[in-house]
Amino acid sequence: MCSSSLIKHDDYCERDDDKRRVKALGERFETLARAVLDKAWLMDVETCHKAMLSKWTRVKGYNYLDLAFHAHARTFMSHQACQEILDHAWRGKFKRDVSTLQIMLVLIFPPLCLTPVIPFERRVSYRRAIQGRYKMQYINKLTGCEALYVRAKAFYTAPVAKFCLTLVLYMIFLCFHSYVLFYDMHYFESYDTAVINWPEIVVWLWVASMIFSEITDCVGSVCSYSTKVRYLSNSWNRMDVGIWSVYVIGLIFRLQTEPVYYHVGRNILACDTLWLFIRLLQILTSKPYLGPILLMIREMLKDVAIFLLLLVIFLLGFGVAYVALLIPPARFGWKSLSAVFVWPYFQMFGEFYLEPFELQQNSSYTAKDTWSGVDGDITAGHSFVAMALLVLWILVSSVTLVNLLIAMFSDTYRCIKDNQMIIWKFQRYQLLTEYRKSFLPPPFSFLHYFIRLIKKCCGRVSKKGVLPDKQAKSQYWKDSMLRTFIQDARDEYLSRQGGDKDNEILEKLSDLEHHLESIRRVGSMRSTIYN
């Protein structure tokens, strides 16, 4: 897995042939890693899960799932062993049959957490101090405040519950933001008489908590270059950086006392609202048949970029020729330049702008009745050539280019549809890591960070990587056993592959022996006949 990750992320190859060979080699390593994982999973499922989740010091504390994600090993991540681990981590302490509706009901009515609405697994337990010793007790046997605490903690720490809670809170934020944008964003004539209503203050605090959460996710516990690169490798994180950067710029303009700056800021915030709603598309990644749709949209945008490049070339060529035939040089102005782009674009969709041709047929038709995008009267010189160009443009744009775009979309959709489940299974890891970071989503994340700060000031946060001697030795022996288990699975796979190759060689030798025997018999028969 490490070899596959290094090969796929290495850019030392300059020639295309070398890149293809290196890519094929990386896929070969990924295939071998999946084969070893399949053998380990068949040997012992529980030990295989522990080995997959074990953090190896030789690769900076990463486990096999982390390595597979950074290597973009989709086929490896789609293995049943990886999916069982991700499914259990996504559900937390819930049973398999818990639906999203049940989680939403508990989020709306938190006391339902004490009822059987959310069934927990029987093996869920926790450590409780009894007479100075810690003992494990099952959650179903707890009562009173103790049961409330343990059940609430088990519910709100589950990534699926945090995902639903984040979705609900984010929709509430969008409602507040839309209300402020429509009714409550007033202009400040001066800072002395400025009055800010409470809905706008709530939105500002909410945005501040979201920005602070993104900063903590980017920086992490160690402010390093690799941490920032890992954060920016996520497309949703890059979108968040763009959204909140534009929001802060718009808010700065909105707080100015000049009317021009205020309107600029309000326009920026209004345009940023579009991306705030697009951010809701992340909820699709939790569903197997909706998650790959986002990848389809992303790949189709690349097809749109190619289409726009071709469209601009044809559009400029037709627009310059068409406008030059309809508008004489004496009446051509800077406003007429917009017609070069506007007319051909809307003519693709049926708005043909036939006023110049009507002007030639009706002498009483004046420029006031025509589209006001040009200076002065529009004369219809060379109308026959212009009409021929218009017919040719409609044929090229509406028939050829648009159908070309549809064909590109169809090809992209088919390629992604064939690997739909593999793509979704790979995306689950990214979604899981996103919702395992904080205990509470914004705007309540401030409470989480405040509690962590208090614990750190009181010295209750233990340093990672520093273990007592007994725990270090125990962890060492566990890691040694897991490494031995993986090595045994690898050796068994290689021995089986070697046995298969030996059998294949023996079969070829047997076929060769039969072939030689048949040749010998034919030779003996010929010699007998000649004699």
Q: How many residues does the chain have?
A: 531
Report DSSP letters for 178-231, one per residue. Answer: HHIIIII----S-SSS----HHHHHHHHHHHHHHHHHHHHHH-SS--HHHHHHH
d(CA 119, CA 79): 28
Mean pLDDT (the chain) is: 76
C-alpha 147/C-alpha 139 separation (Å) is: 7
- Which has the higher per-residue pLDDT, 29 or 160? 160
In tens, the pLDDT along 225-277 reads: 555 666 777 788 888 999 999 999 999 998 888 888 989 999 999 999 999 99
pLDDT by residue (tens digit) across 264-320? Answer: 999 999 999 999 999 888 877 888 877 788 888 888 999 999 999 999 999 999 989
Q: How high is the pLDDT of residue 360?
A: 53
Cα 450 from Cα 155, distance rounded (Å)? 21
pLDDT for 178 equals 93
Instruction: For residue 307, give every residue at least 6 positions away whose Cβ sits within 8 Å of its Cβ, in sequence order, or none.
Output: 401, 404, 405, 408
What average pLDDT does this structure show over 428-436? 83
Domain ranges of the chain: 2-91+462-498, 100-156, 159-286, 292-418
**Cβ count within 10 A of residue 490:** 17
CA angle 511, 513, 515 (to 5 degrees): 70
CB half-sphere exposure, 3, CA atoms < 13 A: 11
Instruction: Please report the pLDDT score of residue 270 as a whole number.
Output: 93
* Most confident option among 11-15, 86-90, 133-137, 500-504: 86-90
The predicted model gives 414-438 an average pLDDT of 82
Question: Angle of helix 337-347 relative to helix 291-326, nearest 10 degrees?
Answer: 120
Bridge-based pairing state of the strands 125-130 and 133-138? antiparallel
Out of 83-92, 214-223, 496-505, least confident range: 496-505
CB neighbours (10 Å) of residue 184? 14
CA–CA dist 60, 329 (Å, integer): 70
Q: What is the pLDDT of residue 15?
A: 63
Cβ–Cβ < 8 Å for 375, 338 = no
Under DSSP, the state recorded for 428 is H
In the numeric block, the tokens 């290597």 are attached to 71
> How would residue 461 be classed by pLDDT, with cut points 50, 70 and 90?
very low
Predicted pLDDT at 476: 55
pLDDT value at 8 more than 50: yes
As beta bridge partners, residue 137 has 126
Q: Identify the bridge partners of residue 62 per DSSP, sorted by sequence position.
A: 56
Q: How many CB atoms sit inside 10 A of residue 432's CB? A: 18
Return the minimum-mean-pLDDT range out of 94-103, 165-174, 195-204, 372-381.
Answer: 372-381
pLDDT > 90 in the chain, percent: 14
Cβ(275)–Cβ(243) under 8 Å? yes
Residue 527 token pair? 């010699």
Q: Look up residue 331 and give its DSSP letter.
A: G
Question: How large is the average pLDDT for residues 168-195?
Answer: 85
12-62 confidence digits (pLDDT tens) = 555 667 667 777 777 788 888 888 888 888 888 888 888 888 877 666 677
Q: What is the mean pLDDT of residues 428-451?
A: 79
Out of 196-210, 301-315, 317-331, 378-392, which region has the weakest mean confidence (pLDDT)? 378-392
Q: What angle do CA 45, 151, 217 make, to 5 degrees?
A: 75
- φ and ψ at residue 461, rounded to 5 degrees: -90, 115
Query: Which long-range contacts does 130-136 make (Cβ < 8 Å, 24+ apart)?
Result: none
